[in-house]
Structure 1
Amino acid sequence: MCGISGLFDTRGLGAFDQRLAEHINNIQAHRGPDEAGLHLEPGLALGHHRLSIIDLSTGQQPLFNEDGSVCVVFNGEIYNFQELVPELQQLGHHFKTRSDTEVIVHAWEAWGEACVQRFRGMFAFALWDRNQGTLFLARDRLGVKPLHYALLPDGTFVFGSELKVITACPGFDRQIDPLAVEAYFSLGYVPDPRCIYQNAHKLPSAHTLTIRRGMTALPETKAYWDVRFSNDNPITQPDAEAELRQRVSDSVRLRMIADVPLGAFLSGGVDSSAVVASMAGQTSTPVRTCAIGFDNPDFNESAFAQQVAQRYGTDHRLEVVQSDDFDLIDTLAWLYDEPFADSSALPTYRVCQMARKHVTVALSGDGGDESLGGYRRYRMHLGEEQVRGRLPLGLRQPVFGALGSVYPKADWAPRMFRAKTTFQAMSMDTVQAYHHSMSHLRADQREQLFSPEFLRSLGGYNAVEVFREHAEQAQTDDPLALIQYLDYKTWLVGDINTKVDRASMAHSLEVREPLMDHELVEWLATLPSDFKIRGGEGKYIFKKAFEPLLPHEVLYRPKMGFSVPLAAWLRGPLAQRMRESVLSERMLASGFFRQASLQRLVDQHLAGSFDHATALWMLIMFDAFLRLGERAPA
């Protein structure tokens, strides 16, 4: 795992200052502390920080082809590189390393832009072809590895693994994008391809970007892959269970290739437990497993992780996080570069910190919920869809809309009585309803929070448009498949993968996700939806497949999640920090918020009359982002 960066002169062959190239490369040295490499030529600078995983003695980057005309900087892993090497050798290419990186340059020579279709892995890379005068950027299919870019006013194209590479460049305009702010306060992150800044972009997952000299504007990105839900596989359930186990095993096997210590996260949930069981079946030595426990029993899954560790005789490490472990706010703001409100970033940071003491590579169970229907919200959405399918929108809008407007917000009540959000969702179409369920702050709450001036700057834009744009590409009428597709494009990339990438790279730890293998994802998309959710049970086929390998109480217990006691923190030890952040001069001067709304959120939460923990945490993290901007060099 690594950090990549680069500068490209779109207007000519100007020489870049080596000190600037070194600075933007070194600003993300935490991603790869083992080695640093830099290549400069007229009009180009490529930088790389390496975390050595495969071929420790060679494989340094930037890496070139035989005659030096093609050069690449690469972050990630090409898991099938050993299969591609002999094929490329037969085409006349010569390899001087044992690294997966070298496969990229020769694959480019052999197949051009189509090379990405041959790679099975997680990757973000930039490749320079001097003979063609082409800079080619690519990102993996599920968006595991990040890639940011911008075109500066002087014609310099800059890219980097993290947004801080872009903001470190003189001349970059840190103008905040109002549409990104609206999206953040809806989803808790800024979804691709937007960044918090108007002039910066994220390369979307499964996309490429080709840059050439003489361009005056950024070209369109190109998609090279998409998941298609056919849901028409005629396979029987017993055969599906056996094939699923085998496919997971194959995906795990590919991700166990490493020349450094390797282990796994073991949360005690279904997905990480299945990954560990698959690992244990493919090695004669104990699997190294790492888990985080919480001193608050309502948030502690460590006993379930211990069951799996004992069953497979793993070398298990557990660390307990105190319930007041919230001193990472400013650290997270720096790591994520833009507002990011998933509070599970705190324990994710800690488990990566702990794992790095014992391993350099860790396998995770991320991606299983999205592919296999594991989230409770999926089951709730399907229930709502049954009602929406029976009543026309013209009837639902006035009836349920009125109920949603008058029903009180009852965070304190048992879940079955919290009907306000459900009534509101029932008055909406399918895509709007799912966006509504995924929103941290609903549209009416955002309207109350934002100042009239800021609302005018949005020009009527609503973050639901992010979901609508993706829904148009989904090519499925299956209710579950549609929201799975939306999660692949938004939640999985923008939240889960972003969270894990920054938290792991902060500690120079490589995390690999077997359940995000694109061939596994493609196969799961062929299975009927009732293989995924049946009788109210999520991940139905997955749990059945792993019944022979995992304890029943691990497979069928209620999903807990990787959460923290936010509401209690914000009424207790974080109360002062909350006041200072949410009501700071920075927040008021930003022009985004109504002062009265900020004060109301603080007062009502501290009084215990409402639970505004989600909104307040979003505001705290937004203030931390603004504070970071104040300290940035002009």
Structure 2
Amino acid sequence: MLAVFEKAIGNPPEELRLPSVGLDLQGKKTLEEILETFRLLWPQSTLYHLSNGNFMALSHEAESPLHPRSMVVMDDIFCIFVGNLANMPELRRHYGLSRRATEAMVVIEAYKVLRDRAPYPPDQVIKDLEGKFAFILFDARSVTLFVARDREGRVELKWGMAGDGSLVFSDDPNTIQEACGKSCAPFPPGCIFMNANGLISFDHPLHKVKAIAREDDEGKICGVIFQVDLFTRLPSIPRTGSAANWADITVQEGE
């Protein structure tokens, strides 16, 4: 699979650029060049053109039977899903879906809950997904990008920054390296990325996910990894709803 979003939409973390700082753009491609290369490599792929040259593409060639790929478009929401969910019966019942609903359809319904019940925390949505998976979702109406990978990182997913600053995702290491050169990294397991909110851990949502540069023997940055910093806590969001109101009433009665 391959998904590419221009910098204005993808809003990639600048740390992805670290391995290429001080270097020219050799080995990195623009959005248009990435699309042309992908078409040549995978002529039988399914391709969805989005606004401003952004695109999402899926090929079933060299697909692992353990990690099948699928793509669904519903209500202007595009979703590529790789892998499988172990608790599909429970998820279908929870979201009111039929037995024919696929993993990608479940993810779209989960995203709609997140979108329509704001400020519903995204980590609560993803915690319900059990299995080996990675997905890329794009809501064309709200221009929202939503990406996640399972806790163990059992499904391959990498992201990177192209020569024009576009954000690139792929489950094929060769494809993303050709597109981004050294400016790519594994997408961190157990994490969510949203273009408006950045990168968060769905198991540790109140702790920062930071980039750590890797250096070669000469002290030059040769790569970057993202991981949860359990020593840095993000500001918590005030509680809302009935649970918070009940807590306030209990405090007042005890005073």
> TM bucket by the smaller chain?
0.5 to 0.7
Q: 1:47 to 1:204 in 2, by over 3 A?
A: same
Tell me which amino acid in the other structure corresponds to 1:45. Answer: F
Question: Of the candidates 12, 21, 24, which is equivalent to residue 38 of structure 2?
Answer: 24
Question: Of the candidates 169, 173, 176, which is equivalent to residue 163 of structure 1?
Answer: 173
Distance 2:36 2:82 in 1: 17
Whether 2:233 is the aligned partner of 1:224: answer: no
Question: Of the candidates 67, 71, 87, which is equivalent to residue 62 of structure 1?
Answer: 71
In proportion to residue count, which structure has more strand? 2
Could you give the per-residue CA deviations for residues 425-446 of structure 1, whole angstroms, max 9, x where no partner exists? xxxxxxxxxxxxxxxxxxxxxx
Instruction: Say if 1:46 and 1:62, in contact at 8 Å, map to a contact too.
Output: no
Instruction: Say if 1:78 and 1:122, in contact at 8 Å, map to a contact too.
Output: yes
Q: How does 1:90-129 map to 2 (within 5 A)?
A: 97-112=100-115, 113=122, 114-129=124-139
Could you give the per-residue CA deviations for residues 357-407 of structure 1, whole angstroms, max 9, x where no partner exists? xxxxxxxxxxxxxxxxxxxxxxxxxxxxxxxxxxxxxxxxxxxxxxxxxxx
Question: Of the candidates 65, 72, 81, which is equivalent to residue 79 of structure 2?
Answer: 72
Partner of 2:187: 203
Question: Of the candidates 2, 9, 26, which is equivalent to residue 5 of structure 1?
Answer: 2
Q: CA deviation at 1:163?
A: 2.4
Tell me which amino acid in the other structure corresponds to 1:75. Answer: V
Distance 1:210 1:143 in 2: 18
Distance 2:34 2:162 in 1: 14
Distance 2:65 2:104 in 1: 11
Q: Relative contact order: is structure 1 or structure 2 higher (C-alpha 8 Å, sep ≥ 6)?
A: 2
Q: CA deviation at 1:135?
A: 1.1
Q: 1:26 to 1:207 in 2, by over 3 A?
A: farther
Partner of 1:38: 47
Whether 2:50 is the aligned partner of 1:47: answer: no
Could you give the per-residue CA deviations for residues 216-274 of structure 1, whole angstroms, max 9, x where no partner exists? xxx74210016xxxxxxxxxxxxxxxxxxxxxxxxxxxxxxxxxxxxxxxxxxxxxxxx
Distance 1:26 1:88 in 2: 39
Tell me, what secondary structure is at the counterpart of 1:142? coil
Distance 1:47 1:36 in 2: 7
Tell me, what secondary structure is at the counterpart of 2:141? coil
Q: How does 1:155-304 map to 2 (within 5 A)?
A: 155-169=165-179, 172=180, 174=181, 197=182, 199-211=183-195, 220-225=198-203
Q: How does 1:147-546 map to 2 (within 5 A)?
A: 147-169=157-179, 172=180, 174=181, 197=182, 199-211=183-195, 220-225=198-203, 450=217, 454-455=218-219, 457=220, 473=230
Instruction: Say if 1:38 and 1:62, in contact at 8 Å, map to a contact too.
Output: no
Distance 2:87 2:190 in 1: 17
Q: 1:22 to 1:140 in 2, by over 3 A?
A: farther
Instruction: Say if 1:136 and 1:208, in contact at 8 Å, map to a contact too.
Output: yes
Tell me, what secondary structure is at the counterpart of 2:106? helix
Residue ranges of structure 2 left out of the alignment (5+ in a row): 11-30, 116-121, 205-215, 232-255
Instruction: Say if 2:72 and 2:78, in contact at 8 Å, map to a contact too.
Output: yes
Tell me, what secondary structure is at the counterpart of 2:195? strand
Tell me which amino acid in the other structure corresponds to 1:473. Answer: L
Residue ranges of structure 1 left out of the alignment (5+ in a row): 30-34, 175-196, 213-218, 227-446, 459-465, 475-634
Distance 2:93 2:50 in 1: 32
Q: CA deviation at 1:207?
A: 0.6
In proportion to residue count, which structure has more helix? 1
Instruction: Say if 2:9 and 2:143, in contact at 8 Å, map to a contact too.
Output: no
Could you give the per-residue CA deviations for residues 258-300 of structure 1, whole angstroms, max 9, x where no partner exists? xxxxxxxxxxxxxxxxxxxxxxxxxxxxxxxxxxxxxxxxxxx
Q: 1:152 to 1:201 in 2, by over 3 A?
A: same
Tell me, what secondary structure is at the counterpart of 1:146? coil
Q: 1:222 to 1:158 in 2, by over 3 A?
A: same
Q: 1:139 to 1:208 in 2, by over 3 A?
A: same
Instruction: Say if 1:25 and 1:165, in contact at 8 Å, map to a contact too.
Output: no
Partner of 1:249: none
TM-score, structure 1 normalization: 0.26
Distance 1:117 1:103 in 2: 13
Distance 2:71 2:134 in 1: 14
Instruction: Say if 2:81 and 2:135, in contact at 8 Å, map to a contact too.
Output: yes
Instruction: Say if 2:156 and 2:171, in contact at 8 Å, map to a contact too.
Output: yes
Partner of 1:248: none
Could you give the per-residue CA deviations for residues 476-512 of structure 1, whole angstroms, max 9, x where no partner exists? xxxxxxxxxxxxxxxxxxxxxxxxxxxxxxxxxxxxx
Instruction: Say if 1:124 and 1:139, in contact at 8 Å, map to a contact too.
Output: yes
Distance 2:195 2:162 in 1: 14
Q: How does 1:510-589 map to 2 (within 5 A)?
A: none
Higher-Rg member (1/2): 1
Could you give the per-residue CA deviations for residues 323-381 of structure 1, whole angstroms, max 9, x where no partner exists? xxxxxxxxxxxxxxxxxxxxxxxxxxxxxxxxxxxxxxxxxxxxxxxxxxxxxxxxxxx
Q: 1:88 to 1:220 in 2, by over 3 A?
A: closer
Whether 2:154 is the aligned partner of 1:144: answer: yes
Q: 1:53 to 1:81 in 2, by over 3 A?
A: farther
Instruction: Say if 2:159 and 2:170, in contact at 8 Å, map to a contact too.
Output: yes
Could you give the per-residue CA deviations for residues 5-25 of structure 1, whole angstroms, max 9, x where no partner exists? 111112379xx64x8436437
Q: 1:61 to 1:76 in 2, by over 3 A?
A: closer
State the Cα RMSD in Å: 3.6
Q: CA deviation at 1:136?
A: 1.1
Q: CA deviation at 1:150?
A: 1.4
Q: CA deviation at 1:131?
A: 2.2
TM-score, structure 2 normalization: 0.60
Distance 1:25 1:73 in 2: 17
Distance 1:105 1:142 in 2: 22
Percent identity reads 18
Distance 1:133 1:144 in 2: 28
